[in-house]
Amino acid sequence: MKKAGIIGTGSYIPQRVLTNKELEKMVDTSDEWIVTRTGIRERRIAADDEDTLQLATNAAEKALASANIGPEELDLIIVCSITPDGPFPATACLVQAALGAKRAAAFDLSAGCSGFAYGLATGAQFIENGMYKHVLVIGAEKISKITDWSDRTTCVLFGDGAGAAVLGLVPEGYGILANSLGADGQGGRFLELCKETNCIRMDGRDVFKFAVRVMSEVPLELLAKAGLTQEDVDLFIPHQANIRIIDAAAKRLSLPREKVYVNVERFGNTSAASIPIALDEVVKQGLIGDGNILLTVGFGAGLTWAGNVIRWWGGGER
């Protein structure tokens, strides 16, 4: 049976770099504290006039070019974000207009930093049941607009950016082999938008414990669903939140470091954009080839978690 697979990727990173040294001047922190506790060295911040729509559209245009399809061939656009430009209209509808994707349905998906993995699983359903041929999934975030720049416990962690993937049918044996989605609303209060300040509020230690547990359990569950084992994994793209969480997951999975993609030092936590930005880098650098097994796992606000196992389709006749 043919499955949905990724046929193109793209990403967009804002130009402005915010270093740990600059943060030292803004809050009581140090480069040393941030690097040892999180692995983050710098992050990108979108310009004042650069909103989530722009970040999303820029990444989407690159993904369409890499998939070699035009916007009019899109059937559905899903924008995964916790920082949409407004409650409505959906940012996905604005992207639809910006791209000129006249035929595409469009909606936003809010699943925190797990958004993109949720989005891949969602988009794949529409393709595999025959309803649609091409689905564009975008993770786009302007976290800087909901960051409390006087709160050292959160402002050092996040960054802005966007990544996108086009889904389409791929030849038999390839594509998204398994998905796992989950939520625990009881933990929602650990990571939320504070109503008074309209900024992120987080219980870091609770989120950390949750993240380490999820990142240890979900990969194994996903691989079992796909009928695979840890040895089959060629590349693991974990959500880029904290190097200590990534290292703990890699250890639990007995994965050597070269099989775990890390870019948290350059971008910080870009929420729903983190996995698709990493994915696009992986593709551009040729780190994943035809037939390779790719594992993605995200976790975040909700609390939510989600992951996908993908047998990579390297291109050619579909």
Ligand X SMILES: CC(C)(COP(=O)(O)OP(=O)(O)OC[C@H]1O[C@@H](n2cnc3c(N)ncnc32)[C@H](O)[C@@H]1OP(=O)(O)O)[C@@H](O)C(=O)NCCC(=O)NCCS
Which residues are marked as active site? 113, 239, 269
Q: Is 152 in the site for ligand X (CB under 6 A)?
A: yes
Q: Is 302 in the site for ligand X (CB under 6 A)?
A: no
User: How many C-beta atoms surround the C-beta of residue 53 within 10 A?
Assistant: 22
Query: Which one among 207, 246, 273, 295 touches ligand X, defined by CB under 6 A?
Result: 207
Q: Give the binding range for ligand X (CB under 6 A) out of 46-54, 131-139, 140-148, 152-160.
A: 152-160
Q: Is 211 in the site for ligand X (CB under 6 A)?
A: yes
User: Please, which of residues 41-100 interact with ligand X by CB under 6 A?
Assistant: none
Q: Is 169 in the site for ligand X (CB under 6 A)?
A: no
Q: Residue 158: which residues within 8 A CB-CB, separation 6 or more?
A: 43, 143, 144, 147, 200, 268, 269, 270, 271
Minimum Å distance from CB 298 to ligand X? 8
Q: Of the two residues 34 and 140, which places its CB atom closer to ligand X in the complex? A: 34
Q: What backbone phi and psi angles, to 5 degrees, belong to 77?
A: -125, 125
Query: Which one among 15, 129, 195, 205 touches ligand X, defined by CB under 6 A?
Result: 205
Distances (CA, A) of 293 to 11, 114, 219, 287: 21, 20, 12, 11
Minimum Å distance from CB 35 to ligand X? 11
Q: Of the two residues 66 and 296, which places its CB atom closer to ligand X in the complex? A: 296
Q: Of the two residues 152 and 266, which places its CB atom closer to ligand X in the complex? A: 152
Q: Give the binding range for ligand X (CB under 6 A) out of 33-41, 68-76, 139-147, 289-297.
A: 33-41
Q: Is 118 in the site for ligand X (CB under 6 A)?
A: no
Query: Which one among 11, 20, 38, 308 touches ligand X, defined by CB under 6 A?
Result: 38
Strands 3-12, 161-170: pairing kind: antiparallel
Minimum Å distance from CB 163 to ligand X? 16
Question: Whose CA is closest to 273, among 154, 189, 163?
Answer: 163
Question: Whose CA is closest to 175, among 232, 120, 255?
Answer: 120
Sheet of 76-80: strands edge to edge? Answer: 3-12, 161-170, 135-141, 76-80, 105-109
Question: Quick one: tokens of 318?
Answer: 């579909």
Query: Which one among 153, 216, 230, 292 touches ligand X, defined by CB under 6 A?
Result: 153
Q: Of the two residues 7 and 275, which places its CB atom closer to ligand X in the complex? A: 275
Q: Of the two residues 8 and 302, which places its CB atom closer to ligand X in the complex? A: 302
User: Please, which of residues 219-278 interact with ligand X by CB under 6 A?
Assistant: 241-242, 269
Q: How many CA atoms lie within 13 A of 272 on its CB side?
A: 33
Judge whether 155 and 147 are in contact, CB under 8 Å. yes
Which secondary-structure segment (H or E) carries 296?
Answer: strand 293-300
Cβ burial, residue 273 (10 Å; 0-12/13-18/19+): buried
Rounded to whole angstroms, the Cα distance separating 145 from 196 reads 15
Q: Of the two residues 71 and 115, which places its CB atom closer to ligand X in the complex? A: 115
Q: Give the residues lining the site for ligand X (CB under 6 A).
A: 29, 33-34, 37-38, 113, 152-153, 156, 191, 202, 204-205, 207-208, 211, 241-242, 269, 299-300
